[in-house]
Amino acid sequence: MSNEMVAQIAGAVAAAEAHTRSKAARRVMRFLLTNPGAMTHEVARACAISNVSCAAGYARPALRYQGFDIVAELPDRPVVNRFGERSQVHEWWIRPLEGQP
């Protein structure tokens, strides 16, 4: 990710924070600024939240207004839990909305 894109995301996060009441949503946005692609459990632990997707949902409208979104993607190499089952652990990113430069 280029320095220019990082600066754009940082500006969008700063603006979105002002329009988001959820403290958890603010923590998730700040964390993803410096930890793009973090796994669900990493975000949850670092931000002290149990439901990452819920916090991301609170941040999403304000970020979208700024031309960005919080995106969760399954990793290329699936995470397998201790029972040998595929886990629904995702990677989390802040990315430009589709159609944005």
Examine residue 39 and state whether it is found in any structural domain, yes or no. yes
Tokens, residue 21 = 């009441």
The CATH number assigned to the domain holding 9 equals 3.90.1150
Range of the domain at 41: 3-96
- Say whether 58 sits in a helix, a strand or coil: helix
| Alpha helices, H only, 2-100 | 3-17, 23-34, 40-47, 52-65
Cα-to-chain-centroid distance, residue 5: 15
In a domain, 57, yes or no: yes
Residue 69 lies in a domain: yes
Domains: count for the chain: 1
Cβ atoms of 67 and 96 within 8 Å: the answer is yes
The greatest distance separating any two alpha carbons of the chain, rounded to the nearest whole angstrom, comes to 43
Residue 101 counted as domain residue: no
- Rounded to two decimals, the pTM is 0.89
Q: Evaluate if residue 2 carries a pLDDT over 90.
A: no
Average pLDDT value for residue range 41-61:
97
68-101, pLDDT tens digit by residue? 999 999 999 989 999 999 998 999 999 999 876 5
